[in-house]
């Protein structure tokens, strides 16, 4: 593990730790900046160690860097092994890492699709499954699973992105109920279009430039709303006033049908 800081001198009973996946950019880095004010230690996870180190250097809180590709089958067990080895208990879990992903139809090589599904769904479920029970035993935990407005209604993009986010929302609602009364709050955070590196990574900068500015939010607001929602015990938080207003419309059966047939609504890569 690169950049691991020794933990032996820490008094665990007073140390509150947040683990953030996809902390090297965008919403994940913003979660790290905002949580740095309320936790004692951050565990920063992503593939790009240099970016994680850069972020860690800019924060005035202890940071543990764990380089991991969360689309690989054993990545979560390796991550959890490292946590156990270094005696790190996680109090805040932010399942945030994500990408736009490949198209689903007419696929020749399924490897990329399987890795996408692992990153977007299995990894989220496994981290929840492994880290929530110890939180429940200790009587305290906060879990934010970053989903998307794209998981709230279908589109015609034939991608697996929206469905993967719908799964994350359903999983979070289930876990929210399962953990009720234990001191552990689980929330799905559903951002709409947000300024991060996401659309650049997905090769969508041109499409982004053509969109109206008023449908875009800053990561700062999205993360603030997500952290507030999990603190208040909300199962699902749609972030941004515009998307909160649109959400019930897009989810109502009648309007959903009308909107989709009238506009061919495209929600991919939100
Ligand atoms: N931006 C939006 O408009 C928007 C809207 C709704 C929902 N979301 C969701 O918000 C979350 C964060 O995205 P973002 O907008 O902040 O995008 P971003 O700026 O591109 O950040 C994505 C993060 O995920 C990490 N990541 C990607 N693949 C990974 C892998 N295989 N293993 C480990 N980490 C990986 C990246 O780190 P490395 O490359 O260093 O691994 C990076 O830190 C995603 O789940 C996304 O679906 C975004």
Per-residue DSSP letters for 215-246?
G-EEHHHHHHHHHHHHHTT-SEEE-SHHHHHH
pLDDT 10s digits, 179-221: 999 999 999 999 999 999 999 999 999 999 999 999 999 999 9
**pLDDT tens digits, residue range 81-91?**
999 999 999 99
- The Cβ of residue 205 has, within 10 Å, a number of other Cβ atoms equal to 11
Query: Is pLDDT above 80 for 223?
Result: yes
- Domain positions in the chain are 13-104+111-263
pLDDT at 267 over 60: no
For the chain, the average pLDDT equals: 91
pLDDT at 1 over 90: no
Ligand 1 centroid – CA 181 distance (Å): 31
Answer yes or no: is the C-beta of 51 below 6 A from any ligand 1 atom.
Answer: yes
Compute the average pLDDT of residues 57-68: 98
Structure tokens at 40: 């004692």
CA of 177 to the centre of ligand 1 (A): 27
Tell me the chain's radius of gyration from C-alpha atoms: 18
Mean local confidence (pLDDT), 36-49: 98
Ligand 1 atom, smallest distance to 48 CA: 40
Please check the confidence at residue 31 and state whether its pLDDT lies above 70.
yes
Tokens linked to 246: 């649109």
The residue whose CA is least distant from atom 48 of ligand 1 is 270
How far apart are the CA of 199 and the centre of ligand 1, in A?
10
Is the CB of 28 inside a 6 Å radius of any atom of ligand 1?
Answer: yes
Instruction: Give the ligand 1 atom nearest the CA of 150.
Output: 6
Mean pLDDT along residues 103-111: 89
Output the CA–CA distances (angstroms, integers) from residue 206 to 15, 95, 202, 210, in the order listed.
45, 28, 11, 6
Q: Give the pLDDT confidence score for residue 252 in this predicted structure.
A: 82
148 lines ligand 1 (CB under 6 A): yes
162 in contact with ligand 1, CB cutoff 6 A: no
Please give the pLDDT value at position 254: 67
Does 137 contact ligand 1 (Cβ within 6 A)?
A: no
How far apart are the C-alpha atoms of 113 and 104, rounded to whole Å?
7
Q: Measuring from atom 44 of ligand 1, which residue has the nearest CA?
A: 98
- Judge if the beta carbon of residue 95 lies within 6 A of ligand 1: no
Q: What is the share, in percent, of the chain residues with pLDDT greater than 90? A: 81
Q: What residue ranges in 47-97 does DSSP mark as E strands?
A: 62-67, 92-95
pLDDT value of residue 85: 98
Listed as own residue / partner, the contacts of 50-56 with beta carbons closer than 8 Å and 24 or more positions apart are: 51/24, 51/25, 52/3, 52/23, 52/24, 53/3, 55/23, 55/24, 55/29, 56/3
**Coil, strand or helix at 45:** strand
- Between 5-19, 21-35, 38-52, 77-91, the lowest mean confidence (pLDDT) is in 5-19
Separation of CA 115 and ligand 1 centre (Å): 14
pLDDT in tens, 12-25: 456 899 999 999 99
- Answer whether 55 contacts ligand 1 (Cβ < 6 A): no
CB neighbourhood size of 9 (10 A): 5
Q: Which DSSP helix (H) or strand (E) runs through 185?
A: strand 184-190
What CATH architecture is 13-104+111-263? 3-Layer(aba) Sandwich (3.40)
Q: How far is the CA of 262 from the centre of ligand 1 (A)?
A: 31
Residue 263 pLDDT: 56
Task: Provide mean pLDDT across the span 124-133.
Answer: 98
Closest ligand 1 atom, residue 201 Cα: 20
pLDDT in the model for residue 6: 33
């Amino acid at each position: 593990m690169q950049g691991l800081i020794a933990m032996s001198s820490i008094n665990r009973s007073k140390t509150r730790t947040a683990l953030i996946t996809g902390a090297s950019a965008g919403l994940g880095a913003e979660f790290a900046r905002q949580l740095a004010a309320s936790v004692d230690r951050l565990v920063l996870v992503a593939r790009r160690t240099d970016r994680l180190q850069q972020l860690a250097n800019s924060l005035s809180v202890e940071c543990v860097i764990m380089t991991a590709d969360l689309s690989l089958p054993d990545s979560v067990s390796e991550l959890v092994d490292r946590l156990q080895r270094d005696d790190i208990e996680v109090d805040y879990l932010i399942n945030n890492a994500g990408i736009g992903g490949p198209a689903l139809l007419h696929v020749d090589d399924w490897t990329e699709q399987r890795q996408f599904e692992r990153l977007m769904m299995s990894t989220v479920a496994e981290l929840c499954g492994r880290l929530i029970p110890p939180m429940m035993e200790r009587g305290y935990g906060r879990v934010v699973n970053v989903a998307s407005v794209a998981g709230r209604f279908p589109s015609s993009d034939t991608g697996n992105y929206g469905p993967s986010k719908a799964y994350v929302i359903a999983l979070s609602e289930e876990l929210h109920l399962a953990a009720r009364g234990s001191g552990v709050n689980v929330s799905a955070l559903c951002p709409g279009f947000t300024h991060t590196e996401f659309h650049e990574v997905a090769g969508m900068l041109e499409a982004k430039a053509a969109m109206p500015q008023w449908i875009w939010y800053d990561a700062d607001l999205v993360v603030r709303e997500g952290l507030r929602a999990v603190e208040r015990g909300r199962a699902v938080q749609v972030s941004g006033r515009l998307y909160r207003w649109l959400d019930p419309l897009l989810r109502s059966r009648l309007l959903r049908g009308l909107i989709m047939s009238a506009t061919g609504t495209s929600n991919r890569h939100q």
